[in-house]
Amino acid sequence: MASIRQSFEIPGKMKTWSFALMGIGIVALIAGFVTKGMSKDHHEQDIFLGTLMYNTIFWTLVCNASMFFLCVTTMAWGGWQQSFRRIPEAISTMVPIFGAITLVVLLYVAFSGSHIYHWTDTVAVANDPILKGKSGFLNIKFFTIWTVLAIVLWSFLGWRMRKLSAQADEAAMDGETGAKFILSNTVRAATFLVWFGLTVGSTVPWLWMMSIDAHWYSTMYSWYNFASTFVAGMSLVALWVIYLKNKGYLEYTNQEHLHDVGKFMFAFSVFWTYLWFSQYMLIWYSNQPEETIYFKHRVQGPYKGIFFLNLIINFICPLLILMKRSAKRNYTLVTFMAVLIIFGHWIDYYQQIMGSISKEHVTMGWLDFGILSLFVGMMIFGVSKALASKPLIPKYHPFLKESIVHHT
Amino acid sequence: MSVKYESQLREPLVYGNKTYHDVTEDIVRPIEAKPSKLWYIGFYISVCLLMFGVYSVYREVTYGIGQWNLNKTIGWGWDITNFVWWVGIGHAGTLISAILLLFRQGWRTGVNRAAEAMTIFAVMCAGQFPIFHMGRVWMAFFVLPYPNSRGPLWVNFNSPLLWDVFAISTYFTVSLLFWYSGLIPDFATVRDRAKTKLRKHLYGVAAFGWTGSTKHWQRHESLSLVLAGLSTPLVLSVHTIVSFDFATSVIPGWHTTIFPPYFVAGAIFSGFAMVQSLMVVVRKVFGLTDYITMGHIEAMNKVIVLTGSIVGIAYLTELFMGWYSQNKYEGYTFWYSRANLFSPYGWSYWGMMACNVLSPQIFWFRKMRRNLFVTFFMSVLVNIGMWFERFVIIVTSIYRDYLPSSWSVYYSPSIWEIGFYLGTFGLFFTCFFLFAKYFPTIAIAEIKYVLKTTGESYKDNMATIEQKQADEFAHEYAH
């Protein structure tokens, strides 16, 4: 009987790559800070901060989507994901790290008097009845408390899920312990999901992102952002599954599981498009200036190219490429699509945040890719560390055998 | 090696030591037996309601829309509320058959047949309202876009109301095909057991000459998959387009971007509640408790608490945006016309909140999810709440117009409006009683498909597998 490889050894090459990416990122960060961050021009400063903002927020939410996936499948009593559940677990360990960076960046933006959050400008608020009216929600105190709470609780509740999962490495469970184990899993997952709904599903995207256009509002905004980060999060899971498979790990995971992850990537790309369309079409159709202003420069102005690129990458490509069964079972194609989808939603975050900060011109350039590389490097480094610290397969998990016999 | 295995921690989906034959016997028995007294009573009540509905509609068609208490300001009242309510209910069936199929939820096999039937009947009921709301119903065919002799009179392709015509008729067609194609093998089963010639002939025609050959099954499976694929986007599109009827407008309380997914969640919510109301009764009356188990009821209650909470987030989101937008019209609609309990229709908003958001939270508790009385009570409550939701959206948004001079007086429906609504209940239940009597209420073939994985006695045999270590099991499975 062939034994399974439980401990992941981080290949030297991977370490080198992650360091190289982080190195490039740090150089870009410093260069960006010197050329833009310290610039006398407010606009340049905002671009620097905005670039940090959309990257930190994007990567925090994408990694948090892994924990969301685990909690949702736990609540649904899913069996199929057990053979690779350690991957989303490992990805979710990045939430406290990326979350802390997000916290620093957002609080700096809010407290530094930068122009990004217009509602932090007390003089402007005093002279603007709309902002004044909103100040019960858009104020620095609430912003700080809620941001800290959101990040701390995502990290804490996610940590509790992972901690419980470690029990499945220890000893075989009989029926009773197994049932208890599943019950505590569902309770912890439910707690996470409730908090997730109150933050990612509603308040957090309003506070962090929608408030950049301080007058503008859309009830769909948060759900749209959830869909965006969830589909990117599933793609990230797919990438790590394929990587580990190629390295000969995850013996119980096969094309059948990948196929299902691929279905999530396909289905939620379509779901994202559905929300995109619903938000856009309704605003376009009713044509009210206070709402269309958000899309004006995105559709007709400098962001036109990015606006349509967003749709092509995140809708047309997954629709056409991932629809076929064989595509979702093909490692190379899924890898390609996963990279594309993550990139596509990163672009979506770019246009959502930078499109509001720098309305006159598109600033995409070396700084964006540099900071992206910093985050990708950190993600690779952190996730590989987390993977190496735990057995790769929860071998006593009561549903593991279902995952072994899983087929689509 | 093909292994029939699932964790012992999961409850069986079929109780009792059933064989394939037992499954057929149990499900076909109600069709072959004479209907009970209870069935007749229920059926006659339904037919009476239907007749009252027909008379109410007759009044409306003959004397005009003035038979209803709609007015210039409240142009949409009970009729459109009822339309949206019924369409919403018609969502559970297809969700169960298509989306839960994709999510591989085995428990769907116990309830999918009845839920799909319910879907079809609910959509039929829904369709009556916009048709008769047209007033001159004999002109209803004007909604069909075809080259005609009416000169430039053509449908308005920019109108979401027209999209509704397409969306709902497509949904109805695909749901009907899906439901019927699943029925074919079961009709053949009933045909093969038939004792009278007429019965054999009728079920034979219905079964389209099904022989159960491998080729038939193969085609049947492919067809099911294609229809499931077509149905999945339809589950979302129908209520999305219904929500567009409101959200494309510039009416405060209607124009909000979250409407499409929020309507879909609400539709699934109410659909499941209706399935619960029916199933809790059907399983008892027809003695199908081995097939529609407490596990099934519990799973549906979980869907109810999930969708109820999603709807809750949506309610709070739009209420919040009513304030956050600092748009005084939105603010007035949400915070005065709705959330203020003492405004004319405030009661309906709080009724909606209580029934749809607060009360389903009781299903966080396992004991409550598995209590039949609570389940039935809650399912009725949710449907009342979902009716209120549509009433709140429609009436509280329009009764006070932008122009205070056109503000409406308090709207309450006329007897013929109520009669029309009751009539659709009659239609729905008449159809459902006939369905329950003449059709297999549970998909026989699909239960047989899951029997050996999830049947109680088969699960007992898996105990040996359960003892094995994962690596040992994986090794055996691989060889």
Residue B2: its pLDDT value, please? 59
Q: What are the C-alpha distances in Å from B439 to residues B82, B103, B189, B446?
A: 28, 27, 11, 15
Q: Round to whole Å and give the CA distance between B194 and B365.
A: 45
Cα diameter, chain B: 81
Q: For residue range A294-307, what is the model confidence (pLDDT) as tens digits?
A: 999 999 999 999 99
Q: Hey, where are the domains in chain A?
A: 18-384
Q: Is the pLDDT of residue B236 over 60?
A: yes
Q: Whose structure tokens read 């045909």?
A: B191
Q: What is the mean pLDDT of chain B?
A: 92
Q: Which of A129, A219, A283 sits opposite B317 (nearest CB)?
A: A219
Q: Round to whole Å and give the CA distance between B246 and B253.
A: 9
Would the CB atoms of A405 and B325 count as touching at under 8 Å?
Answer: no
Assign A218 to helix, strand or coil: coil
The arithmetic mean of pLDDT across residues A261-283, rounded, is 96
pLDDT bracket for residue B375 (50, 70, 90): very high
Q: Round to whole Å and give the CA distance between A394 and A166.
A: 7
Min Cα distance A71 → chain B (Å) is 13
Would the CB atoms of A190 and B10 count as touching at under 8 Å?
Answer: no
Q: Which residues of A touch B318 (CB under 8 A)?
A: 219
Q: Which residues of B touch A79 (CB under 8 A)?
A: 6-7
Q: Is the pLDDT of residue B466 over 70?
A: yes
Q: Round to whole Å and give the CA distance between B101 and B107.
A: 10
Min Cα distance B329 → chain A (Å) is 13
Min Cα distance A94 → chain B (Å) is 27
Angle at A142 between CA A137 and CA A148, to 5 degrees: 135
Q: Which of A134, A190, A404 sits opposite B473 (nearest CB)?
A: A404
DSSP letter string over A76-130?
TT--GGGGGTHHHHHHHTHHHHHHHHHHHHHHHHHHTT-SSSGGG-HHHHHT-HH
Residue B167, by phi and psi: left (phi above 0), alpha (psi -120 to 50) or beta? alpha
| Angle of helix A175-198 versus helix A140-165 axis, rounded to 10 | 160
Angle at A127 between CA A126 and CA A128, to 5 degrees: 95
Min Cα distance A162 → chain B (Å) is 21
Question: Which residue in B has a C-alpha nearest to residue A396's C-alpha?
Answer: B470
The arithmetic mean of pLDDT across residues A119-136, rounded, is 94
Min Cα distance A39 → chain B (Å) is 34
Stated as kind and residue range, the H or E segment containing A264 is helix A255-286
Q: Round to whole Å and give the CA distance between A321 and B46.
A: 51
Nearest to A219 by CA among B321, B207, B277, B304: B321
Q: Tokens in use for B203?
A: 């079920």
A-B C-beta contacts closer than 8 Å: 122
Q: Which residues of A touch B247 (CB under 8 A)?
A: 282, 286
Question: Which residue in B has a C-alpha nearest to residue A215's C-alpha?
Answer: B325
Interface probe with A: pick from B1, B5, B9, most Cβ of A within 10 Å: B9
Q: Tokens in use for A155?
A: 């990290």
* pTM confidence score: 0.95
Q: Which residues of A touch B249 (CB under 8 A)?
A: 286
Min Cα distance A263 → chain B (Å) is 9
Q: Is the pLDDT of residue A355 over 50?
A: yes
Contact B273/B359 with Cβ under 8 angstroms?
no
First vs last Cα of chain B: how many Å apart? 7
DSSP letter string over A339-377?
HHHHHHHHHHHHHHHHHHH--SS---SHHHHHHHHHHHH
Would the CB atoms of B5 and A279 count as touching at under 8 Å?
Answer: no
Q: Is the pLDDT of residue A2 over 70?
A: no
Half-sphere exposure of residue B282, counting CA atoms within 13 Å on the CB side? 28
Q: Which residues of A touch B11 (CB under 8 A)?
A: none
Q: Which residues of A touch B236 (CB under 8 A)?
A: 274
Q: For residue range A148-201, what is the model confidence (pLDDT) as tens digits?
A: 999 999 999 999 999 999 999 988 888 899 999 999 999 999 999 999 999 999
Q: Which residues of A touch B8 (CB under 8 A)?
A: 175
Min Cα distance B164 → chain A (Å) is 15
Q: Tokens in use for A185?
A: 């899993």
Number of other residues whose CB lies within 10 A of the CB of residue A287? 10
What is the DSSP-derived secondary structure letter of residue A3? P
Q: What is the ipTM of this complex?
A: 0.94
Would the CB atoms of A274 and B240 count as touching at under 8 Å?
Answer: yes
Q: What are the C-alpha distances in Å from B221 to residues B182, B188, B215, B217?
A: 9, 16, 10, 6
Q: For residue range B83-111, what is the model confidence (pLDDT) as tens digits?
A: 999 999 998 888 888 888 888 888 888 89
Q: For residue range B185-196, what is the model confidence (pLDDT) as tens digits?
A: 999 999 999 999
Which domains, ranges and CATH numbers included, belong to chain B?
A: 20-143+154-462 (1.20.1630.10)
Q: Which residues of A touch B5 (CB under 8 A)?
A: 401-402, 405
Q: Which of A3, A129, A175 sits opposite B8 (nearest CB)?
A: A175
Contact B309/B360 with Cβ under 8 angstroms?
yes
Residue B1: its pLDDT value, please? 44
Q: Round to whole Å and give the CA distance between A117 and A216.
A: 13
Question: Which residue in B has a C-alpha nearest to residue A395's C-alpha?
Answer: B470
